[in-house]
Every structure is written in structure tokens, then in C-alpha cells.
Amino acid sequence: MLIWRNFDSIEAQADGLSAALVRALHDVLERQPRALLALSGGSSPRALLPRLAQSGLPWERIDLTLADDRWVPDSDPDSNARLLRECLRQAGAGAAGWLPLVDMSKSAAEQVQQLNDHFPYRQPDVCVLGMGLDGHTASLFADAPQWPQARHTEARFVFMEPANAPHARVSWSLAALRECGRLFLLIQGEAKRDVLCAAAELDQDNAISRLSRDQGVTLDVYWCAEA
């Protein structure tokens, strides 16, 4: 099920989503001692992250991770971990725990196995996803050779090698995303709205269609007309 929240500007969208995430995390922390927040990289969340960092959340009780990350060092400009460090952890959320997805001292296969065997959470309590025009979310690309297996695995983490996007990736799986306590989608522009609407209406072989059409999933969509 999709719940739409529509905004006219990126600033208003970021304000609205930041407030919603603060409420969702406070709800989690009323029930349990710690919460896991998974965030996405790319350009869409750049307005959100500083607002969230300065929101007054009890960061010492929150662990941060990513919905996905590129298989690059965290010093690389394409690293989502670098984005979070620069836009969130250095801006006020420094007390948060940090659970990275990429460790390049291991092989990719070893790292994904390590995550699946020892990651301290089964799934995020709160997760913010993005979406591409090809219908991928997190790094669940339908053009990756791993997609047929990634659609059905019960493992929490998968390794993906998209054919038409740079870098291999580590991503939470569809199975894990389906079980998130609160699942938000941050998108901007008419083209992405049209992609999401089409994927939710008709079954397509891509991740956002599988997720948005799942009867057990509520996807809270924060959409902005401004791209």
C-alpha cells in the first residue's frame, strides 16, 4: 500500500520527512532501548540529512546504517557511507552508532556472508529508500545477474552487480525491506512519480513493483514536484 505525501519544494519535503522520521524513531525508542535507522545515498536526501542531524534525536540510542552502498572505499566520492559521514554524522548525529555495509578488507562474498551471519539487527526499524527511473530501490537492480536470486532469497543482505549503473553494491534484500517497521520512500519529479504509479498498478519485474504491490507492506511516499 502506498501513502502519498506531496510537497511543492525540496525544502518542504525535507522538513516533512525529517519530522516524520523523528516521530517514528521516538515511537521505536518507547518500546525498545535502541533503534536502527537505514538511510539512502544519492542526491535526493541531501536536503534531508542536515535537518535530521539537528533534530534533537537521542542519537546515543540510535544506530545508523545504509539501505545500500557501493562497493568502493568510504573515501570514494561515490560512497554512500561518505555522504552520511559528511551530511549527517558530522552535522550533529556524531553520537549515533555506525553499522557500515562495506568492508573492503574482505572479499565481497565474505562481507555479505559476514553481514548475514552477524549483523545485530534482522531489519531496520525505520528505513528511507530512494528509487531509480528503472524501478530499482536500495540497490536491487533488475538488470543485475543476481536479481533472479535476490527476488526470492530470505537472506537479509545481497551483493548486486548492475549492468547499467556504476559499481557493484551491497544491499538489504527485498525480504528484509518487507519486514521494516516503518518504510519511507523519498522521490522527486514527475518522471519518478509516473514510474512508481505504473509499478504499483501493474506487476513489473523490478524491485519497486514487488515492494509497492506487496499486501503486507506500507510504503510512505514523500514526493516533491521539484526535481
Condensed to tens digits (0 to 9), the pLDDT of residues 11-46 reads: 999 999 999 999 999 999 999 999 999 999 888 888
The architecture that CATH gives domain 2-224 is 3-Layer(aba) Sandwich (3.40)
Q: What tens digit of pLDDT does each residue of 160-206 get?
A: 999 999 999 999 999 999 999 999 999 999 999 999 999 999 999 99
Three-state SS across 96-118? CEECCCCCCCCCHHHHHHHHHHH
CB-based contacts of 88, cutoff 8 Å, min separation 6:
39, 49, 50, 52, 53, 64
Instruction: Tell me: pLDDT of 149 over 90.
Output: yes
Buried b (16+ CB within 10 A) or exposed e, 60-76: ebbbbbbbbbbbbebee
Instruction: Answer for the pair 223, 193: CB distance below 8 angstroms, yes or no.
Output: yes
Q: How far is it, in rounded angstroms, from Cα 6 to Cα 17?
A: 11
Nearest CA-CA partner of 24 in 222, 227, 212, 192: 222
Q: Which residue has the higher pLDDT, 88 or 205?
A: 205
The dihedral sign for the CA sequence 43, 62, 89, 104 = negative
Average pLDDT of span 93-108: 94
And the C-alpha cell for 208? 519497486
Nearest 5°: CA angle at 214, between 211 and 216?
A: 115
Region 81-90: mean pLDDT is 84
Instruction: Give kind and range of the element (H or E) at residue 210.
Output: helix 207-212
Would strands 157-160 and 126-129 be described as parallel, antiparallel, or unpaired?
Answer: unpaired
What the block records as the C-alpha cell of 58 is: 537521542
